Amino acid sequence: MSKICVIKGDGIGPEVVDSAIEILNKAAEKFNFKLDYNYTLMGGIAIDETGVPLPKETVNAAKASDAVLLGAVGGAKWDNLPGDKRPEAGLLGIRKALGLYANIRPAKLFTPLINACPLRRRVIKNGLDLVIVRELTGGAYFGKKRTVTKDGVKSASDLMIYSDFEIGRIVETAFEIASKRKKSVCSVEKANVLESSRLWREIARKVADRHPEIQYSEMLVDNCAMQLVRNPSQFDVIVTENLFGDILSDEAAMLTGSLGMLPSASLNETSFGLYEPVHGSAPDIAGKNIANPCATILSATMMLRYSLGLSEAADAIEAAVEAVLADGYRTRDIAEEGCRVVGTDEMTELIKGKI
């Protein structure tokens, strides 16, 4: 029996996590596996009930689990608290406590949602199904920061620093993910100007040499940003450092056109991971039964695939989501002419019915 630490969070978090759990339970019944859920607190609700955004019990419960399924945290009620007391501090805290160094963001355009893609049809005629593997704990976001004033001139710097170890483990993760997909990895850096990128390239090549079964390529980050809108079908797995990954993953997400459909995972060196939708807590629509549960449901399928080794069940859930969309059902955020708009609960029931 796999142990799942569940953090529903704030806003629409509880609604979309409940949907995902219903879908997981249906898949468990169909594919004969068992999940044991441990419900814990984080974010605004944790501040209200315990005084802190990330109670120790939550970290302990997460560490004692095989994976964490998270909704989203945050909301206006807690916006005026100091930075380290805000709901989002819980997110950063749990990522750090669990050593989650690899952020996995798939960008897949489901065929029935092709109209949501801002690119021309001819550009996406071969589909769009890629994964961005972003290093999450190094680079300029975590390197030494300094602001100095000298001779009346104020200047600031952020050190973009990477060790061979940090590069090697994230590139290995990308190769591992590619081995379960179309077997192609593109390493993205800026080796023509950055020293840290030159080390990145050197280490990435060593990892590539160990995986001759995976096709390996390299691309400069500026070219990658362009290729993502020019010919996104060429990519399978893109691996890159923290800052480049932050930007490229949002660009790739926009290509699918629908925030309510985007899942993510953050992994550590074991098969452990934290799985959450890309969207936030959407307080504007909380409690109205109109939130799109698909991003969280698809995050749960990533959990089945990456942490629990249940790829068959993951495939079945993804196919069920696509089938419901193909039947013309949409939540309000992805509604288009001629489609039937349904609420969170109905969408969940429809997907369950297709598993």
Where along the sequence are the contacts to ligand NAD (CB under 6 A)?
12, 16, 72-75, 88, 91, 259-260, 276, 279-285, 291-292, 295, 333
Burial annotation 49-62 (CB, 10 A radius, 16+ → b, else e): eeebbbbeebbebb
CB of 16 to ligand NAD, least distance (A): 6
- The answer to whether residue 284 is catalytic is no
CB of 290 to ligand NAD, least distance (A): 7
Cβ atoms of 242 and 254 closer than 8 Å: no
Give CA–CA dist 121/138, Å, rounded: 37
**Exposed (0-12), middle (13-18) or buried (19+): which is 115, by Cβ within 10 Å?**
exposed
Query: What is the identity of the amino acid at 193?
Result: V
CB of 140 to ligand NAD, least distance (A): 21
Q: What 3-state class would DSSP assign to 30?
A: helix
Nearer to ligand NAD, 90 or 200 (CB): 90
CB of 70 to ligand NAD, least distance (A): 7
CB of 295 to ligand NAD, least distance (A): 6
Q: What 3-state class would DSSP assign to 54?
A: coil
**Exposed (0-12), middle (13-18) or buried (19+): which is 161, by Cβ within 10 Å?**
middle
Give CA–CA dist 335/327, Å, rounded: 13
Q: Which of 141, 158, 182, 345 is catalytic?
A: 141
Closest by CA position to 38, among listed 15, 86, 70: 70
Three-state SS letters, 239-302:
EECHHHHHHHHHHHHHHHCCHHHCEEEEECCCCCEEEEECCCCCHHHCCCCCCCCHHHHHHHHH
Give CA–CA dist 249/255, Å, rounded: 10
Closest by CA position to 336, among listed 124, 117, 113: 113
Nearer to ligand NAD, 42 or 191 (CB): 42
Q: What 3-state class would DSSP assign to 313?
A: helix
Q: Which of 48, 84, 164, 222 is catalytic?
A: 222
Residue 169: half-sphere exposure toward Cβ, Cα within 13 Å: 17
- The answer to whether residue 222 is catalytic is yes
**Exposed (0-12), middle (13-18) or buried (19+): which is 134, by Cβ within 10 Å?**
buried
Nearer to ligand NAD, 26 or 279 (CB): 279
CB of 65 to ligand NAD, least distance (A): 19
CB of 329 to ligand NAD, least distance (A): 14
Cβ atoms of 106 and 121 closer than 8 Å: no
Nearer to ligand NAD, 232 or 260 (CB): 260
- The answer to whether residue 250 is catalytic is yes
Nearer to ligand NAD, 203 or 295 (CB): 295
Q: Catalogue the active-site residues.
A: 141, 190, 222, 246, 250
